[in-house]
Amino acid sequence: MNITVVGSINLDLVASAPSLPAAGETVTGATLARHPGGKGANQALAAEKLGAEVCLIGRVGDDAMAGEALALLEEFGVDLSGVETDIAAPTAVALIAVDPSGENQIVVAAGANHLATPEQLPARIETALVVQLELPIATVEAAVGRATGFVCANLAPAAPVSEQLLRRADLIVVNEVEAAFYGEILHHGGGRVVVTQGARGAEMYHRGVKVAWATPPAIVAVDATGAGDAFVGAITVALLEGMEPADALRFACAAGAVAATRAGAQPSLPTRAEVEALLAV
């Protein structure tokens, strides 16, 4: 299957700390790691590793961080012909604090991501499409408007979007906080809506009616960064393959669970064999 992802590309700076800071608090004793990230790049790599042929459209700066941010995408064969280099802004950076239980706090400096414009998009997107909201909303909406096939909209981070986007999406994925932000308007379109609930699993709705649910396999969480993006990539692949809703949710929950057992966003994303092995336990 062929998927186009229009989305963000970041370099993640991850501080693994004894605890997450409260407002105004300084926490010491952390260790620092650098990983490729960004919701768009993460979801593109997740889908590629699970069996799709993926093209990523995004933007990076003309700097050394761009090479780091794109390294794993290149290694696993994601098509980067749609990634443009911007001389006016740096590659985006995410500052991530992670505690021993895997919970995290994230601050993103959007950099070149916020300079991605509709002019960067093809006139028609004839593959399946995955979008998130870490690019300018006008660019996201333009991508959805040019799509001719299946559209997955991961409405994260939560931000106002048009009713046309909500109605056009065949699949909307949100977490509980994002679902509360949007409210009932999520269910006004004809597509499916998936609400993720972290370690408690996920639920799928159609026109406001719950049609499927699943819980993830038991794992020891190390870092939740990237688990949600693994879920989005996996649920898109599963539904495009024709899996029934409950099976697709179980597959996606398992992908997110594998990702949570490893540090970093893209380094944690699972292969198809790893997801199937966890489901078989």
pLDDT for the residue 265: 86
Rounded mean pLDDT of 2-15? 96
Select from 214, 221, 212, 209 the least CA-distant residue to 251: 214
- At residue 96 the predicted structure's pLDDT band, cuts being 50, 70 and 90, is confident
Is the pLDDT at 23 greater than 90? The verdict is yes
Give the model confidence (pLDDT) of 234-262 as tens digits. 999 999 999 999 999 999 999 999 999 99
Distance of alpha carbon 31 from alpha carbon 40, whole angstroms = 26
Q: Please say whether the beta carbons of 192 and 209 come within 8 A.
A: no
- Per-residue pLDDT tens for 109-124? 999 999 999 999 999 9
For residue 129, the model assigns a pLDDT of 98
Q: Where are the domains of the chain?
A: 2-9+39-90+113-280
- Residue 3: pLDDT above 90? yes
Q: Is the pLDDT of residue 108 over 80?
A: yes
Share of the chain above pLDDT 90, in %: 87
pLDDT band at 87 (very low <50, low <70, confident <90, very high): very high
Q: One-letter amino acid identity for 110? A: A
Q: How many helices (H) and strands (E) does the chain have?
A: 8, 13
Q: Are 243 and 237 in contact (CB under 8 A)?
A: no
Rounded-to-integer distance, Cα 139 and Cα 63, Å: 23
Distances (CA, A) of 232 to 24, 61, 67, 243: 33, 26, 25, 15
Identify the CATH homologous superfamily for domain 2-9+39-90+113-280. Ribokinase (3.40.1190.20)
Instruction: Return the active site residues.
Output: 229
Residue 264 has pLDDT above 90, yes or no: no
Amino acid at 222: V
- Give yes or no for residue 263 having a pLDDT over 80: yes
Average pLDDT score, the chain = 95
Q: Indicate if the pLDDT at residue 51 is higher than 90.
A: yes
SS3 assignment, position 174: strand
Cα 281 to Cα 247: distance, rounded to the nearest angstrom: 15
* Least confident among 14-18, 72-76, 134-138, 268-272: 14-18
Q: How many CB atoms lie within 10 A of CB 273?
A: 10
Tell me the pLDDT tens digit for each residue of 156-204: 999 999 999 999 999 999 999 999 999 999 999 889 999 999 889 999 9
